[in-house]
A and B are shown apart, each in its own frame.
Chain A
Amino acid sequence: MINSITSLNFTKNMSRESWVNLLLLVVIVSVPIIATLMDEVYYVNLSTRIIIIAMAAVGLNFALGFGGMVSFGHAAFFGLGGYVAGIAAFHSFEGTLFLGLIPASDQMLLIWPVALLGAAMIALLIGAISLRTQGVYFIMITLAFAQMIYYFSISLTTYGGEDGLSIILRNNFAIGNSNNPLHFFALCFFALLMSLWLSHRMVGSRFGAALTMAKLNETRLATAGIEPYSIRLVAFVVSAMITAFAGALFADLNGFVDPSMLSWHRSGEIIVIVVLGGVGRLFGPIAGAIAFVLLETFLGGFTDRWQLFLGLVLLGVVLFARGGLIGLMTGNARHG
């Protein structure tokens, strides 16, 4: 009796969440198409911005939402991806060699693997050390590592130091024209879909089952014969790679990369987006990114104190809607 009622509720909520997810995708795709038809390039790029920031949050959500690891250093990976794209574009444009040794490419299909590999290696290092701690110490140590990388980026005088680096010619993708705003949007949208699909598959896999258990009850996981540390470490690396991918796209969108991409403000923003959208909800980052970028753009154009309103919204979500915006829309404020 009880069993059948709950399983019924469960399927009902699931399908409702799927509808909400689909709606989000439809909105996010139709806006740039309509904007293109109306010749409003600004809104195409705004949509692309939302998509990319959502993808950065999809990365963090994998570690934070599904693995319970509150990383306060994900901007480091975002910025790392950005700098890989920026530095590649810089050397290709100048026709110079990276470190005087390695020829650069302006092909995204070559740049991305480098960004992903770089992020994976650095995340492995940061994770291996940070994951020996938990709770507030983990938050602080990831922040500390990110700050180190932030200051390192400032010291890169070849690449503009504190002023950053302009990407004069956007890097190229194998098909389409990356300089066409709608083409570039489509590319980013596809990347976002890939990251969502990857998250979804991984959360449902054996690895995901272990990761979920690491979040809910680490003792149970270890007693069941699986090392929580290694599960978390791999999840942290995957999470960093997704965020770095988003960073590479972000640099090409803006035609610019500077150390602020790696600042702790940025790390905080990504956390805010995950929490706003719904921690551990697959599409939470999209809802969060839409809300965040819209507040930033429209309220930010209106007053410099827009973050005050962001703070109020966040407070409301944390106090009254633990499932975030997705939880509100599905009427299901499941555990967070």
Chain B
Amino acid sequence: MVDSIMRIQKLYKSFGALKATDDVSLDLRKGEIHALIGPNGAGKSTLISQIAGSLKPDSGQIFLDGEDITQLSVAARAVKGLGRCFQVSSLAMPLSVRRNVMIASQAITGSSFRFWKAVESDKALIAAADEAIDMVGLLDRADEPASYLSHGERRQLEVGCALALKPKLLLLDEPMAGLGAGGSERLTGLLESLKLDIPILLIEHDMDAVFRLADRISVLVYGQIVAQGTSHKIRHDPLVREAYLGSSDLDVTGEVYD
């Protein structure tokens, strides 16, 4: 295995008779964005949940930096460097933007079993959080409750929360969904600037963004990976085009970014 930061090996997960993950193996390499595409219900979110630890696979292994993390809890994986963003934002709405991010900074800057010192005056903690908030461009709104943010800003905040973990990789589940063209553009720029330091496993429906960002693409259909390869290869794979992408659309977007 060359330089992969995260590797999934023969993962299976069924919900009753439904095979949501069916013999999936893939890896995420240093410095890359690996896009996971596929129709709704293909099992993309289910796969992310298993990598992040909120769902236990029926069988198979997940390795982070060579270590088998299949049995670890969500929190343990997060501390080891798995940053995750949900398809549906999961934030503490009444708390400020900063408070949402600080909790992640807190996890990596020492124990949470400190009972006395006020976090409000913990300069190091606040600075660490603000750094992540700044990266996603929300610093001027850091004191506002998360509930005041627009849908797009909440997505940015989630990315900020994940970045505050100083993660080894990011798992992003449709981060562009519902962002306007501007928001999408900005996030694409951010991800591009991040990927060298933090490789990203990206689920995304916006094919423009996928082809612009992804170094490699895996296509998931009915829980199985039906095609895997470089962005270029997938774009021109006749099977993929026919089965999933819809060939006419693709030619247009393909030309633009070639």
Specify the chain A residue showing the minimal Cβ separation from B106: A206
CB distance from B205 to the nearest CB of A (A): 22
With contact pairs A3-B144, A204-B119, A209-B119 given, residues A225 and B95 touching in the complex (Cβ less than 8 Å): no
A205 touches B117 (CB 8 A): yes
A335 touches B94 (CB 8 A): yes
B75 touches A3 (CB 8 A): no
With contact pairs A217-B91, A222-B73, A222-B78 given, residues A207 and B103 touching in the complex (Cβ less than 8 Å): no
B52 touches A206 (CB 8 A): no
Specify the chain A residue showing the minimal Cβ separation from B107: A225
A213 touches B115 (CB 8 A): no
The answer to whether B100 has its CB under 8 Å from any CB of chain A is: yes
A204 touches B118 (CB 8 A): yes
A207 touches B90 (CB 8 A): no
B-binding segment of A70-78, A181-189, A226-234 = A226-234
Expressed in whole angstroms, the Cα–Cα distance for A213 and B92 within the complex equals: 7
Count A-B pairs with CB separation below 8 Å: 115
User: In the complex, which residues of chain B have a beta carbon less than 8 angstroms from the beta carbon of A3?
Assistant: 141, 143-144
The answer to whether B123 has its CB under 8 Å from any CB of chain A is: no
B 104-116 binary contact with A (CB < 8 Å = 1; else 0): 1011101111111
CB distance from B163 to the nearest CB of A (A): 12
CB distance from B88 to the nearest CB of A (A): 10
The answer to whether B36 has its CB under 8 Å from any CB of chain A is: no
CB contacts under 8 Å to A, within B66-114, are 73-76, 78-79, 84, 86, 90-95, 99-100, 102-104, 106-108, 110-114
With contact pairs A213-B92, A213-B103, A216-B94 given, residues A225 and B165 touching in the complex (Cβ less than 8 Å): yes
The answer to whether A212 has its CB under 8 Å from any CB of chain B is: yes
A204 touches B120 (CB 8 A): yes
User: In the complex, which residues of chain A have a beta carbon less than 8 angstroms from the beta carbon of B117?
Assistant: 205-206
CB contacts under 8 Å to B, within A185-239, are 201-202, 204-210, 212-213, 216-217, 219-228, 231, 234
User: In the complex, which residues of chain B have a beta carbon less than 8 angstroms from the beta carbon of A221?
Assistant: 75, 103
- Selected from A7, A212, A223, A234, the residue in CB contact (under 8 A) with B113 is A234
- Selected from A209, A219, A223, A335, the residue in CB contact (under 8 A) with B106 is A209
Q: Using a CB–CB distance below 8 Å, which chain A residues touch chain B? A: 2-3, 6-7, 201-202, 204-210, 212-213, 216-217, 219-228, 231, 234, 335
